[in-house]
A = this chain, B = another copy of it.
Amino acid sequence: MSASPIDSDLLVLAQSFRTTLRHAVYLSRSMDGDGELTTMQMSTLSMAAEEPLRVSRIAANLGIRVPSATEQIIKLEQAGLVSRTPDPTDSRAVLVQLTEMGRSAWEDAGRLRNERVAALLAHLDDDDRATLAAALPVIGKLSRTA
């Protein structure tokens, strides 16, 4: 509680947020080890599921460079999960969209993950679940701020 009253409390919260986040990252990693699609692939498919996307936007959303995104997308294409077509409004650009197969693979994988997470959540009591549910939008807000 010296010069800047917010600092001390915020730093304490920041510290425990960082620690928690670190563990959550390990948790999330542990959930994609067993199967078919990696977390990054899931993210890519999730984006493309909504609407056809440009490579550059996918890269930006994933926080990686365009060439890295191209690489991953080509793999997804080879796996038959997405298609790449030139953007009709700008032939420099490429639109990535889900194939029929990609959509069902994405849905299946999402269902599987949800079930796995739900199984974890089942260990919490109602209060904890309510607390968690309330905080998710706040964390989302934070991520968007950054």
A interface, CB within 8 angstroms of B? 6-7, 10-11, 13-31, 39, 43, 62-63, 110, 113-118, 120-124, 128-129, 131-136, 138-146
Contact = CB atoms under 8 A, between A and B. Distances in A.
A142 B120 contact: yes
Contact of A128 (B18, B22, B138): B138
Contacts of A138: 124, 128, 131-132, 135
Contacts of A63: 26, 29-30
Contact of A11 (B20, B29, B118, B140): B118
Nearest to A117: B14
A14 B121 contact: yes
